[in-house]
Structure 1
Amino acid sequence: MGSGKVTTGSAPFDLQGKHVTVAGLGVSGIPAAKALHARGALVTVVNDGDDARSREQAAGLEALGITVRLGDGATLPEGTELIVTTPGWQPGKPLFRAATEADVPVWGDVELAWRLRGPDAAPWLAVTGTNGKTTTVRMLAAILEAAGLRTAAVGNIGVSLLDVVLGEETYDVLAVELSSYQLHWAPSLRAHSAAVLNLAPDHLDWHGSMEAYAADKGRIYEGNQVACVYNVADKATEDLVREADVEE
């Protein structure tokens, strides 16, 4: 079992014995539940669906000692001290409203991966945008590989960041695709460098407005250590850089 502590700002958050609720199953929720359980957290997974696929996934987690509640994604389990959510769950869901009222923090799986990475972890080169993210991240990974660096294309591209960060293989750098959903739930992410390719109205039912959507995209620039890349043909991306608080 790995260390039960992760860094939250200046103070460690000890996962050992903590009640953590994971919102959702699938490619993000299952690795999150397993990683938390491995660090001594008392994990409960809640999921809206209760279909055959969900029951199969639940059985695998329950075999490890993880509690799963299918068809009940609205109720905050008693004693919850942290929620880790899969990206697609909307901020306005009753579960998150209850968390706000109870002063329970909500992290995404990307946030959890960022906090669980080791002291010698590979830097992240992060990419977002309304269009072209996956193609760009694959191209970025190919360029890094051609330069002789050990890398992987991860994140919203379909490869769990948690699996990569906690896996045995080591990397020099990671090419990370991030969606607006993932960025919304990743408040402490600080990439080595980042790019917003473009901005156009998208997922506005999830974010609530174009302004909120753009703000979540702009989170990718926060705390950038080396470079903020923007699109000169899309002034909105430059505006996000100017508004970001980056390292000098």
Structure 2
Amino acid sequence: MDRTGSRLVLVDNDFLESESGGELSSGYESGDSSNLSRDSSPAPSRLPRPSAQKQVMIFKSTSDLQDSLAFILSMPELCDVTFLVGKDQVPVHGVKAILATRSRSLYQLVLHHQRQSELTKTTKKRFKKQKPSPYPNTLVIHVPDYQVETFRRFITFVHSGKVKVDVNNAVGLLCASEEFRLPDLRVACKDFIDRCHSKGQREKLLATAGQYPQKRPAQKLLAEVATCSRLRVVLTSD
């Protein structure tokens, strides 16, 4: 089959070669193996026939996968982590394996609370009269310093790699991406904030930054705006 006649998503031949365990593979293209060899030594007396070469194709379809991973979060029975977010402790669910593999900080957070949970269970065994947990089969992690919807979107991004950023959650997502070390989301949020130049958007960003007084990105944003305001006053007075 000709490469140019296919609409499937393919990758470079170098990647195909590494994925095939060192065997030469050329996707949809075929050719003389002597042209593909990186060794300058003379070719062996018997060359494999081009038609006998292994054909390899790598196909990627990520959009449906993203939607499926995000949909898992709406089914608590399939999740094994429950974040209790904000002062009202609203539950936001997640999958431990995905959280741990996406971020080293989230891995350490999960591991720490898992150890604490095991210690708590051991202690509770000594006391028969204990109030049962509303989430007995999941790891419970308290997250008091984030807005519920913002943290929900952050967890959705961690699981699916996709999130909608707007003026209402950009600062909170920026704080979460820095705290839990997701650099790609951090760069995207900073770029979005830098492009919010209109007065209404800037005021909304400052209002949301005030919701995270303990977070360094929010503190930095407020400090930058305060500095610009002072400079504007000085220039106006001159």
More strand per residue: 1 or 2? 1
TM-score range, shorter chain: under 0.3
Highest Rg: 1 or 2? Answer: 2
- Output the TM-score relative to the length of structure 2: 0.27
